[in-house]
Amino acid sequence: MEIVKHLIFEYGYFGIFIALVGGIVGLPIPDEVLLLTIGYYSYLGRVNLLTALISSYLGSVIGITISYILGAKLGLPFLLKYGNKIYLTKTKISNAQQLFSKHGAWLLLLGYFIPGIRHLTGYLAGISRMRIGTFILYSYIGALFWVTVFVLSGYELGIKWYFVKQSFETYKFIIYFSFSAVLTIIAIIYFFRFITKKTKPL
């Protein structure tokens, strides 16, 4: 928590940006805590909500893009050899590989909400040579929802933050908010797929 405060107060929006880049690439930065704190400080008026959202979003998409490029250029041997240095263990990599092989692009979209997975999806997309357009579409939309959900959760908690930040109610609230957002995303996707099928020429 103190590290998060230091980043925000000392470096402002640039600190937010750099922290999210590092967190997505795999550095041991508490991403959700950072985003919730950003939302809380927005509520207090210490940072501008819209600017903080933009900084967080840009940090997230730049971070996952760097992961994609590293995966595409250096491949799985690099990740297995050096992953431990950024807390990406072989077990995490293996589990993420299994999920990615089954769900691919969908994991890019929803993986931000799964700790330990979001740090690997960019690398795995690059390693599997996923088309850059597909990667950008799913990962950038996923980042938008993830950042918005957690920053606005922190904002909505408002002045109650100090009383509930360690409580089960906060955790339950975040899970509920995240789950609702994921269901919304899925509903929108299926709606557009349904419309697309309906409008295809016979």
One DSSP character per residue, 93-146 reads: HHHHHHHHHHHTHHHHHHGGGSTTTHHHHHHHHHHTT--HHHHHHHHHHHHHHH
Query: Taking the domains of the chain in order of start, what are their residue ranges?
Result: 2-199
pLDDT in tens, 13-64: 999 999 999 888 877 788 888 898 899 889 888 899 999 999 999 999 999 9
Which residue pairs, CB below 8 angstroms and at least 24 apart, start in 187-194?
Answer: none
Residues 16, 54: Cα–Cα separation, whole Å: 10
Confidence label for 120 from pLDDT (cuts 50, 70 and 90)? confident
At residue 64, the pLDDT reads: 93
**In the prediction, which pLDDT does 2 show?**
64
Mean pLDDT, residues 124-142 taken together: 87
- The model's pTM: 0.72
Check residue 21 and give its pLDDT: 92
- Residue 178, pLDDT score: 62
Give 70-98 pLDDT, tens digit per residue: 888 887 777 777 666 656 666 767 766 67
**High-pLDDT (> 70) share of the chain, %:** 67
pLDDT at 200: 52
Q: What is the mean pLDDT of the chain?
A: 77
Report d(CA 124, CA 104) in Å as an integer. 9
Confidence of residue 168 (pLDDT cuts 50, 70, 90): very low
